Amino acid sequence: MSSKKIFGIVLAGGEGKRLMPLTADRAKPGVPFGGNYRLIDFALSNLINSGLRQIVVLTQYKSHSLDRHVSQTWRLSGLTNSYVASVPAQQRLGKRWFAGSADAILQSLNLLRDEKPDIVVVVGADHVYRMDFSQMVAAHIESGAGVTVAAIRQPIALADQFGVIEVSPDDPTRIKAFHEKPKNPIGLADSPGEVLASMGNYIFDADVLMDAVIRDGELPDSDHDMGGDIVPWFVSKNDAAVYDLNRNEVPGATDRDRYYWRDVGTIESFFDAHQDLISALPVFNLYNTAWPIFSQQLNSPPAKFVRDSSGNLGTTIDSIVSLGSVLSGAHIERSVLGPWATIGGGAKVTDSIVFDRVKIGPDAVVRRAILDKEVVVEAGATIGVDADADRARGFTVTDSGITVVGKGVHVSA
């Protein structure tokens, strides 16, 4: 990490409407992921592994479980003036909540004035990836730009799903234009079939960030958004650089997951990201000990696989099973089970995501579904077998056929 003083800001106030009902009772960054994690753990792990030791998490929407997770999990004990602190909306500029990500920083400028950093790393809290930000900081300093935007290469056919960065033909590290979900994108000079998509991660010189959000706060027609307002302003001044994730080398990365990044902003992308975890050679490898993803260490017994009352042992294939879970003669395939899940004899769970303390009774069938915390599925009940029946019971069913059952729902046979 640079000798300059670096400060981290995690933007974690998002409502996450497209992840409903998983966000009905929690902020999007607090949504469980991968059995033992929360979405915010990926951003915080990357910052900590990169050497940052002063990090604030700006929260707003239904933040109780997220604030609790940060306070219980992210203690930097024994390190002088080192912390990960959850900072809720404080209404320092009047009786109003955050109007956007830039406004969140504007209303939290006291944090920067107190710490007086040289450089500020601003990241989102709801993406799954690994990244060494110390390398991006070095590139930012070398560029001399006011802001550097992290970008990942994506197929040009997917450009209309992202904010797309157009680089200068004279200097591929300088941003010429920023296009929000373009219909007719321009491919990269060295790879015409790809574009550079913004990852929602930024590095600023601290003084120019403060000036930018103060200026933006005075504009009545601004949406006060980092990607939509602040970055384009820097681009208009030719003061924005881009950092291609292809330049980033993370210890322990494999060729298969080296440049993995996924925005899990929809039920479909959330589901697909879990499928990326479970193969023998996973697309995203949770077992990289050289760049670990940290989370709360539960005081739980190991997972247990036992025969049911009829002596059936059951099978578990291509799945993740978390601590405290008990599987009794059940068939589990291509699924992720959270802590303290219990699955009864003869039950079949396939292509599914099961959160903490879910109970699935004997002979129940759960297929291509997401079950939030403490869902109870009675013996013989089915989920994901009949989409119309699931909708009639009030469950969310996506266009691709993923059934989502909200927190604490009791599913009868």
Annotated binding site for alpha-D-glucose 1-phosphate: 163, 180-181, 198
Question: To which residue do tokens 């992308």 refer?
Answer: 269
Helices 40-49 and 64-73 cross at an angle (nearest 10°) of 30
Cα 45 from chain centre: 11
Contact between residue 352 and residue 271 where contact means Cβ atoms under 8 Å apart? no
Residue 73, helix vs strand vs coil: helix
Q: Please give the Cα distance from 259 to 257 (Å, whole number).
A: 6
Strands 119-124 and 194-205: antiparallel
Annotated binding-site residue numbers: 163, 180-181, 198
Q: Please give the Cα distance from 123 to 197 (Å, whole number).
A: 15
Record the tokens describing residue 394, joined without a space. Answer: 């009030």
Query: Position 355: which residue type?
Result: F
CA atoms within 13 A on the CB side of 257: 25
Q: Please give the Cα distance from 354 to 406 (Å, whole number).
A: 11
Contact between residue 344 and residue 362 where contact means Cβ atoms under 8 Å apart? yes
Backbone angles phi, psi at 55, to 5 degrees: -135, 135
Contact between residue 57 and residue 10 where contact means Cβ atoms under 8 Å apart? yes
